[in-house]
Amino acid sequence: MLLNVDAINVHYGSAQVLHDVSINVKERELTCIVGRNGAGKTTLLKTISGFLKPTRGTVTFEDRTISGMRPDKVALLGVKYVFQDKRVFGDLTVRDNMELAAYPIKANLDEAIERLFSISGKMKKLIDSKAKGLSGGERQILLIGRALAGSPKLLLIDEPTEGLAAIVINDIARILMEMKGRLSMVVVEQNLAIVSRMADRIYIMKEGNVLREITEEAEIRDQAYIESLL
């Protein structure tokens, strides 16, 4: 098992938001987390990536306990979190945004930029443009490209298609499908058509709990069934 989240509780102040949440991520699998707004999906990803600390339970990555580690340490181990808010450094160029991702982890900038181009060729003509001019989809591609700097082992991507137009959603889904199998991913996604198409494993979250783990291929591909569980 690449990642094991074992019975974690997470609080914001005195409010408990995650209750005994456990998930498993296998190497090279694409795991989807689904659930309505407020279910605790973002809290789970932030806890795995070190931005929040569980009050109980452990997160283990490659047999090492990472719960309690700082986010920069977790990132150096190869676990990268792509935030839900799609924030880029708007006044900087795409290239400089890439450099800010590569520098702290001592990743090779040219390689990182090549990888960005390999996920989306249309970033080539945008490389010297200010990031604030990018469309929502281009921003998301830049954020995924930033996360890929330094060849991470596990990407955690929080609602990559949220707020995007249908045609752009397909673009992002294609990129995730192409990345699939080359690294491991945990994707929080509310678009069930995409989830059904790409997931190897699904966790349904509700009110801070994991309601169900789905690994049967026939169940994963049955969008109506997944919908009925939310």
Ligand X SMILES: Nc1ncnc2c1ncn2[C@@H]1O[C@H](COP(=O)(O)OP(=O)(O)O)[C@@H](O)[C@H]1O
Considering only 42, 49, 161, 191, the residue that binds Mg ion (CB under 5 A) is: 42
Is residue 191 near Mg ion by the rule CB under 5 A?
Answer: no
Site for ligand X in 13-32 (CB under 6 A): 15, 17
Instruction: From the list Mg ion, ligand X, none, pick the one residue 161 interacts with, judged by a Cβ distance below 5 to 8 Å according to partner type.
Output: none
In angstroms, what is the minimal distance from the CB of 38 to Mg ion? 8
Give the Cα separation of 46 and 156 in Å (integer): 9
Give the Cα separation of 48 and 152 in Å (integer): 14
Instruction: From the list ligand X, Mg ion, none, pick the one residue 43 interacts with, judged by a Cβ distance below 5 to 8 Å according to partner type.
Output: ligand X
Considering only 31, 43, 47, 191, the residue that binds ligand X (CB under 6 A) is: 43
Is residue 37 near ligand X by the rule CB under 6 A?
Answer: yes
Is residue 120 near ligand X by the rule CB under 6 A?
Answer: no
In angstroms, what is the minimal distance from the CB of 158 to ligand X? 7
User: Is the CB of 38 or the CB of 104 nearer to ligand X?
Assistant: 38
Which range of residues in 59-67, 78-86, 201-209, 221-229 is near Mg ion by CB under 5 A? 78-86
In angstroms, what is the minimal distance from the CB of 211 to ligand X? 13
Give the Cα separation of 221 and 185 in Å (integer): 18
Is residue 47 near Mg ion by the rule CB under 5 A?
Answer: no
User: Is the CB of 8 or the CB of 149 nearer to ligand X?
Assistant: 8
Is residue 161 near Mg ion by the rule CB under 5 A?
Answer: no
